[in-house]
Amino acid sequence: MSDIRPVVEIKEACALLIAAEKASEHACTVRAALDAGTSRARITTANARWSRAAEYRDRREATLRELMEKYLGGSA
Residue 24 has pLDDT above 70, yes or no: yes
pLDDT surpasses 70 at 18: yes
Q: Distance between CA atoms of 59 and 64, rounded to whole angstroms?
A: 9
Q: Does the pLDDT of residue 40 top 80, yes or no? A: yes
Cα 55 versus chain centre, distance: 7
Q: Is this model's pTM higher than 0.85 or not?
A: yes
User: What is the domain range of residue 23?
Assistant: 5-72
- The average confidence (pLDDT) of the chain is 94
- Contact between 16 and 60 (Cβ < 8 Å): yes
Domain total of the chain = 1
Residue 27: exposed, middle, or buried by beta-carbon count in 10 A (0-12, 13-18, 19+)? buried
Residue 76 has pLDDT above 80, yes or no: no
End-to-end CA distance of the chain: 26
pLDDT at 5: 93
